Structure 1
Amino acid sequence: MTGEPPSDLIRSVSRALRVLEEVSRAGRPLSVKVIARRCELNLSTSYHLVRTLCYEGYLHRRPDGDYLPGPQVAARFHEMAEAFERPPEAAAVLRQLAAESGHTAYLAQLADSRLLVLDVAEGPRSPWLEDLQAGLETAPHATALGKALLLSLPPHIRRGILTEYGLRRFTPTTPVSVEDVEEELSGLRPGQVVEEHGQFRDEVACAGAVVPGTQWAIGISARGLTVPELARARLAEAVRDLARSVG
């Protein structure tokens, strides 16, 4: 939640969304008492909210009485991912990049100051990264995809996105201030391939670049702390291929 609440805020809707967000981010089943405490709601209100969310399919009640996200969350997730109008050749370009380089390829975009991975083509020379899967939001300050997209923005917009999102530390080398990110990007030109080495995951390196004339970025990941030169070259070719396909 950002900014001041609207004057016509419907508090019951706001509370229900708060409950849904808390259960979704918990990573484990939660009891109603825990939900109430974390959401700062009284127990009676929490019971009403979780029963309503269960009825609508947004929460699932386990036999022991604890709650998990329900199937309607997954349905909305897939609908959101499909709503983005990807370049028509994007999937083919990602598959070709993964096949020729052997590295997992990603397509991402900034939407409402959030970095979203929209498509993935898996490659055997890359680790499986649970936070870089199709439809997931990830960290713009710690990923090559995010840095490439940030590089294409005016500095004041870039700073606003970083400040709003926050700079969570993922590894000992993650940049944790706006100034750190700005210093990394200062020697690069928009459109260049951007790399990060162990900032998002230990012993993983990534490279990314924006597709000229679009708001999309393509990236790859690699085991270890270097991106192989051949993989980097294939990434640059994929960016050019997708730019040509969108005219």
Structure 2
Amino acid sequence: MQRAMRLLEAASSHQYGAPAKQLARESGLALPTAYHLLRTLTHEGYLRREKGVFVLGEASEQLSSSGARHHRLGMIGKALEHWRDAIGVPVYFAVYREGEIEVVGVADTPANPAVEEWADFRETGHAHAIGQCLLGQLGDEERQDHLDRYPVQSITRYSVRDHRTFLRRLDGMRRMQPIVERQEYALGTVCAAIPITAGNTAATMAISLPSNQADRLLPAARQLQSEIGKLLGTLAFSISI
């Protein structure tokens, strides 16, 4: 495996490919061994042979993309963990992508657990702060398309109950202000979400607390919002994930 990886690394350093002898020399491998591994890597799709030289194949590109994605998710996770510890609340990061609400990362602790997703977050965006914040950033047509697919319905006794009332609520939201939701998605929980401008993509960071600590919600949200600019570079990576 290590020898094969050395060949792939050598091949990746040549934009227009390299012949077997050169890759063997750069990898420190005997030519017969290099030939055998190159045939295997080509058969598996990690390399392609074109006009006598070897270039990276589709499988290598997918592997590289997967590794970069993992790295970006790790960066986002560390950023969320930082604010979880600094503020003492669960912290969430979500985006609206390809017509769906997507929670990219969550940081919590056993003492301060995140909200349990007992009803699909994607289908209940009208009921939780994350969804309300994301839907509030959409244009009328895109928002209506979402609500046509996922109609407004009561999730708890505190939830908004109809389409028209929900749209009035969105229209009344103040730009760049935290969106607060109290027990609309999960009984015993209050949440706040902060809109984030990340290119053309709707994004949000959110926090949650037990309802008996509701007095902490807005101060914690404002603390996060006041520092959020430091995270934007890291969080923006998620848009390409």
Q: What TM-score range do you get, normalising by the shorter chain?
A: 0.5 to 0.7
2:118 maps to 1:129: no
Matches within 5 A, 1:49-198: 89-123=75-109, 126-131=112-117, 137=122, 139-198=124-183
**What TM-score, normalized by structure 1, do the two folds share?**
0.57
The unaligned stretches of length 5 or more in structure 1 are: 1-79
Please tell me the residue identity of whatever aligns with 1:94.
L
- Partners of 2:215 and 2:73 lie apart in 1 by 26
SS at match of 2:177: coil
1:88 is displaced (CA, Å) by 7.7
- Partners of 1:84 and 1:148 lie apart in 2 by 26
> Which residue of 2 is the match for residue 211 of structure 1?
196
1:100 is displaced (CA, Å) by 1.2
- Partners of 1:146 and 1:164 lie apart in 2 by 14
1:241 is displaced (CA, Å) by 2.1
* Contact 1:105-1:218 at 8 Å conserved across structures: yes
- Partners of 1:217 and 1:85 lie apart in 2 by 21
1:240 is displaced (CA, Å) by 2.1
Greater C-alpha Rg:
2
- Partners of 2:97 and 2:175 lie apart in 1 by 18
What RMSD over aligned residues (CA atoms) do the two structures have, in Å? Answer: 3.4
Matches within 5 A, 1:219-238: 219-224=206-211, 226=214, 228=216, 229-238=218-227
Larger helix fraction of residues: 2
* Contact 2:154-2:161 at 8 Å conserved across structures: yes
Give CA deviations for 1:125-151 in whole Å, capped at 9, x if unaligned.
Answer: 644422189x97452111111111111
SS at match of 2:231: helix
2:228 maps to 1:239: yes
Q: CA 1:129–1:87 in 2, change beyond 3 Å: closer, same or farther? A: closer
Please tell me the residue identity of whatever aligns with 1:164.
R
1:201 is displaced (CA, Å) by 0.6
Runs of 4 or more, structure 1, over 6 Å off, are 82-85
1:179 is displaced (CA, Å) by 1.4
> Which residue of 1 is the match for residue 37 of structure 2?
none
* Contact 1:174-1:199 at 8 Å conserved across structures: yes
**What TM-score, normalized by structure 2, do the two folds share?**
0.58
1:163 is displaced (CA, Å) by 2.0
- Partners of 2:70 and 2:147 lie apart in 1 by 23
* Contact 2:133-2:195 at 8 Å conserved across structures: yes
Q: CA 1:205–1:84 in 2, change beyond 3 Å: closer, same or farther? A: farther
Please tell me the residue identity of whatever aligns with 1:162.
L
* Contact 1:171-1:202 at 8 Å conserved across structures: yes
- Partners of 1:107 and 1:165 lie apart in 2 by 21
Please tell me the residue identity of whatever aligns with 1:220.
I
- Partners of 1:112 and 1:241 lie apart in 2 by 27
Q: CA 1:222–1:156 in 2, change beyond 3 Å: closer, same or farther? A: same
- Partners of 2:79 and 2:123 lie apart in 1 by 22
* Contact 2:96-2:134 at 8 Å conserved across structures: yes
Q: CA 1:84–1:167 in 2, change beyond 3 Å: closer, same or farther? A: farther
Q: CA 1:83–1:148 in 2, change beyond 3 Å: closer, same or farther? A: same
